[in-house]
Structure 1
Amino acid sequence: MSKLSSLVEDFSTKPVPGAQTVSATRVALIIIGISIALPAFVGGAQLGTALGFERAVLAFTVGGLILSVVASLTALVGAQTRLSTYMIVQFAFGTGGARLVNAIFAGTMIGWFGVNAALFGDAMVATVNQMYGEPGVWPLYVAGGSALMVLTTVFGFKSLDRLSRMAVPLLLVILIAIMGFALSHGESANLFAARTPTMSVGLGISAVAGGSMVGAACMPDMTRYVSSRRGAVGSMFVSYGIGAPIILLSATIPSLVTGEIDFMKILLGLGLGLPALFVLVFATWTSNAANVYGAGLSLAASFRNVRSWQLTLIAGALGTGVALSGIIELFMPFLIGLGVLMTPVAAIYVTDFFLVVHGKYDVATLERGPSIRWPGFAAWAIGSCTGLLTASQHLTLTLIPALDALLLAGVVYYGLMRWRAPHRAAECGSSS
């Protein structure tokens, strides 16, 4: 293997060796870094305005707990198999069927990359104009920022690990300081002022859970590097149960006390120019690095003759194109739609791993099974349709569309596969 190949090796189609594993704390930092993102600030401000402070806190807390539970289950699959998500889905959907699943995963992450890059461009225009009187050219900010994020990601998990250890602790300190500064310099009474909600708490919870559900569904990409299963679960509750609500509140509180919904304008209005610039650059960097990393892995599982770092570059180029296309206008529907569409995939492979084959996945057995496993697609369709019906209020179950989609997909898949369990377990062989 050449020196370059060694540097960019990320085990995209094989289990991560035990010697390459890291502590759960380092994985938690990566996940928190992914959550500290401009879309989270937009979502936190919008949800706070739509729900009011108390209801927003409830939505953030419950949404974070749902994410913690879902991510814990997917994290365990990754920690035990040491495989990427895009290899794992082949067991439940078939080697051929997984190509479609992985294409949707890749498309979703490329879309998230585009959302982040577009918001980065908007915020850079406002921030640089406020600080230096020169707004610059929006497409150049988008393209330049995207290129930086992509080029530092071709080195895979190692680059995510180093970037998160450097940036995340300081980002968290700055965000907590911003909340305190906003309360002391804004109209703090506005925080608890009576408001007429324009969104139900259930839909708010679904937006919170749906906004990060793709990350939770793809959690094996990170936890395949965790040295213990207990650590994998603990990192999920720290990241989503504690970290995610704090990040959302860091936008909600300043927005409510100042009456401004644009997070970067809030910071600039409070005279926090340099902290705003730091948050802008590193929040986008940590989250988009993970987006393009995941997109590259998903493509690598289907295009095995192309090196994963080359696919990462391709995904980054596509994401930059998405950013320039104006996807940000569909932001909130995009969030809710993600929770409905991607949650069932996680439910299906978790159900398959724990309840159907009882933890026995072996990559060597994949080619012995059918190319397409129709029970997985049937459960996916039923779960997604159910979530869409509850999101449009044509059906009422748990009041949280993302959770409805998850539960129905898991139950339907288990029901379809139960009679085939002995045959299915034999196909998968023994645990690696």
Structure 2
Amino acid sequence: METEANEFATEPVPDANTVGWFRVAMVSAMVAFSLPTFLTGLEVAAVYSAADTASVLVAGAAILTLLGCITGGIGAATRLSSYMLNRIAFGERGAALVNLAFAVSLLGWFGVNIDLFSDAVLRLSRDLFARDIPAWPVELFAGALMTLTTFFGFRAINLLSILLVPVLMVVTVQLIAGSLAVASLDELMARPATALAAYGNGVSAVVGGVIVGAVILPDITRFLRHWRHAIYGVVLSYFFVTIVVMGAGAIASTALVDDDLLNILVALGIGWAAFAVVIFGSWVLNSLNLYSTMLSVESTLPALNNRVLILASGALGTVAAFFNILEYFLDFLFYLSIAFVPVSGVIAVDYCLCRREAYHGARIRQLQAARVSAISAWLVGAAVALMGSWGWFALSSIAAIDAVLVASAVYYLLQRAQRGAPVSGKTIEE
């Protein structure tokens, strides 16, 4: 694959730079082994019965897999990043707005994850070694390490994932085995629900925890040789690995009657595993966040140097973590994240049903200024996502999925209505 000097942010990945599907699958799997995925399993198990927890996890993983197959398949078929796909679907001006939302959200989560990383390391240092250490060196080290990894591009993230996935597989197996030594499977399955909660809320929690990664999946699947390879990788990572990791968290939570993963790992006598999950999972997840931030900004402002973008973005996210401003930024990031989920619905319909030829060949360089139908559909879908998160609107009881479905339907209907409209060059619509 190409070095850090060229990550193909604004052009298709050449055949010579593609890789086997398993290597890309390892990157997706590494994200599934991160701390937030384990925590989702713990949180679901803390509310639902064992049988319902299993059903919720499988349903959520199936939805994520379906969406990931669509977005990842398009990325592999076009060899384009998610941000270039945005430029084709929304036009240059429309995509500038969408990509800005992507960049702010991903950079914000980079800072949030550094905060989570720092808190976990400080706590483990106290619990395991009875030592109090200041937060700022930990945050500085984490930010520098993740930024440096991103500086070397997808190649470094891919290599890191291949090396670390086996370690976190061992952690997951030990977590399951230790939990089953505390309580048998029959005892776990007999545990009733601890609260009344709608089934859809649980599925929404599973989907919501990973769906942003599914939306930007083209950033890594564009390095694949064929769209079928994206399907293989998505099924492995988004379905099987996600279910196993969330299931491990659920089993541990139920067996030890605790919803704190670090407490559970220390109680089971595998405190080293806590460090592995926190450090390794956060390392790859945040490197991907920063990598996608760089692609977003560079695809919108291609004149900027990607190395400078990575260093500046990493420094900005790390400084934000120093001042703990992200504590007040979380709600904003949450709403921003669910607001750009409908983008995937617009791109899927545009590519699969409306304008596939616009994503291939020379048409990639013939971008339109703004595509009103795509922008309108996105805004409607974003409004649906926000209303769903507030409990004002529900089709499927899963706000993110409602938003994708509505955005897809609105865009398709607008495109059908505009068929036959006169072409006016590179201005508004095709």
Q: Please say whether Structure 1 and Structure 2 have the same fold, judged by a TM-score greater than 0.5.
A: yes
Residue 121 of structure 2 aligns with which residue? 124
- Write the letter of the residue equivalent to 2:173: I
- Write the letter of the residue equivalent to 1:138: A
- Write the letter of the residue equivalent to 2:67: V
Q: Report if aligned partners of 1:86, 1:301 keep a CA contact under 8 Å in 2.
A: yes
Partners of 1:424 and 1:76 lie apart in 2 by 32
C-alpha displacement at 1:68, in angstroms?
0.8
The structure-2 alpha-carbon separation of the partners of 1:346 and 1:67, relative to structure 1 and needing over 3 Å to count, comes to: same
Residue 385 of structure 2 aligns with which residue? 387
1:24 to 6, 9, 21: 21
Q: Report if aligned partners of 1:223, 1:232 keep a CA contact under 8 Å in 2.
A: yes
Residue 250 of structure 1 aligns with which residue? 248
Residue 349 of structure 1 aligns with which residue? 347
Partners of 2:116 and 2:423 lie apart in 1 by 46
Identity of aligned residues (%): 31
Moved more, 5-14 or 257-266: 5-14
Q: Which consecutive residues of structure 1, in runs of 5 or more, have no partner in the other structure?
A: none
- Write the letter of the residue equivalent to 1:291: N
Per-residue CA deviation, residues 49-84 of structure 1 (Å, 9 max, x unaligned), is 123432222222111111111111111211111111
Partners of 2:333 and 2:243 lie apart in 1 by 16
User: SS of the residue aligned with 1:193?
Assistant: coil
Residue 290 of structure 1 aligns with which residue? 288
C-alpha displacement at 1:270, in angstroms?
1.7
C-alpha displacement at 1:426, in angstroms?
11
The structure-2 alpha-carbon separation of the partners of 1:138 and 1:146, relative to structure 1 and needing over 3 Å to count, comes to: same
Per-residue CA deviation, residues 26-52 of structure 1 (Å, 9 max, x unaligned), is 111100111222222232222221234
Partners of 2:318 and 2:48 lie apart in 1 by 33
Normalised by the length of structure 2, the TM-score is: 0.91
Q: What does 1:3-402 correspond to in 2, within 5 Å?
A: 6-185=3-182, 189=187, 192-324=190-322, 325=324, 327=326, 337=335, 340-362=338-360, 364-365=362-363, 368-402=366-400
The structure-2 alpha-carbon separation of the partners of 1:155 and 1:269, relative to structure 1 and needing over 3 Å to count, comes to: same
The structure-2 alpha-carbon separation of the partners of 1:10 and 1:181, relative to structure 1 and needing over 3 Å to count, comes to: same
User: SS of the residue aligned with 1:281?
Assistant: helix
Partners of 1:265 and 1:187 lie apart in 2 by 20
Normalised by the length of structure 1, the TM-score is: 0.91
C-alpha displacement at 1:185, in angstroms?
3.1
Partners of 1:254 and 1:335 lie apart in 2 by 29
The structure-2 alpha-carbon separation of the partners of 1:201 and 1:323, relative to structure 1 and needing over 3 Å to count, comes to: farther
User: SS of the residue aligned with 2:223?
Assistant: coil
Q: Report if aligned partners of 2:91, 2:368 keep a CA contact under 8 Å in 1.
A: yes
Partners of 2:319 and 2:56 lie apart in 1 by 33
C-alpha displacement at 1:252, in angstroms?
1.9
C-alpha displacement at 1:193, in angstroms?
1.9
The structure-2 alpha-carbon separation of the partners of 1:327 and 1:257, relative to structure 1 and needing over 3 Å to count, comes to: farther
Partners of 2:219 and 2:423 lie apart in 1 by 24
Q: Report if aligned partners of 2:87, 2:367 keep a CA contact under 8 Å in 1.
A: no
Per-residue CA deviation, residues 219-249 of structure 1 (Å, 9 max, x unaligned), is 1111110112111111111111111121112
Report how many aligned residue pairs link the two structures: 423
Partners of 2:49 and 2:329 lie apart in 1 by 22
Partners of 1:412 and 1:311 lie apart in 2 by 35
Partners of 2:97 and 2:328 lie apart in 1 by 26
- Write the letter of the residue equivalent to 2:45: G
The structure-2 alpha-carbon separation of the partners of 1:176 and 1:424, relative to structure 1 and needing over 3 Å to count, comes to: farther
C-alpha displacement at 1:102, in angstroms?
0.7
Q: Report if aligned partners of 2:3, 2:155 keep a CA contact under 8 Å in 1.
A: no
- Write the letter of the residue equivalent to 1:79: A
Q: Report if aligned partners of 1:210, 1:337 keep a CA contact under 8 Å in 2.
A: no
Partners of 2:422 and 2:285 lie apart in 1 by 37
C-alpha displacement at 1:398, in angstroms?
1.2
Q: Report if aligned partners of 1:68, 1:241 keep a CA contact under 8 Å in 2.
A: yes
The structure-2 alpha-carbon separation of the partners of 1:211 and 1:127, relative to structure 1 and needing over 3 Å to count, comes to: same
C-alpha displacement at 1:335, in angstroms?
8.7
